[in-house]
Amino acid sequence: MIRNALQQLYFACGVLAGACLVAVAGFVLYSIGGGLFGYVARSADDFAGYAMLASSFLALAHTFGKGEHIRVTILIQRLRGRARRVGEIWCLAIAAALSGYLAWFSIKTTWVSYEIGDVSTGLVPVPLWIPQVAMALGASVLFIAVLEQLIVALAGGVLMQDAGADDVHIER
């Protein structure tokens, strides 16, 4: 039940990331159209950048859950049984620590921007905490996804699919 809820969370973040990509395309088209018709599309590039930031971070957990992140498996793919299990757990523990730090730092940065009232330097002064919320949310959901896979690996369960491979089962 919890895993299903988490999968829905990852999927929802993926959908939001897709919507942000559509927004990027909209801002770029608006900027190009403005240039064609003699209109200066002020701050369109700023908003496209914010949407790209949101898209990149919101897609992290969904991409991780589908096994589509680049993984260097030159060593782990050669391991079997207990050695493979230990290798996967070690990698996931490092990933959990790094993604946890990223989430913590992103949340802290967002909070500091909010507290000090930091705004962008563009023509439209956007409070920076607004685009940073997407970064903090995406990093936090990635941390949850990595932590979930670490718990599954520790329990000896089936991990996410490797990119282009069958399910990876960690044997005890």
Q: What digits encode the pLDDT tens for the residues 66-100?
A: 877 777 677 777 878 888 888 889 989 999 999 99
This prediction has a pTM of 0.84
> Per DSSP, what are the bridge partners of residue 119?
127
What average pLDDT does the segment 31-41 reach? 84
Residues 6+ apart with CB under 8 A from 103: 136, 139, 140, 142, 143
- For residues 143 and 104, what is the distance between their CA atoms, to the nearest angstrom? 10
Q: What is the pLDDT of residue 119?
A: 94
Are 81 and 39 spatial neighbours (Cβ–Cβ below 8 Å)? no
Domains in the chain, number: 1
Which has more pLDDT, 123 or 132? 132
Domain residue limits at 153 = 2-169
Q: Which two tokens stand for residue 124?
A: 């439209």
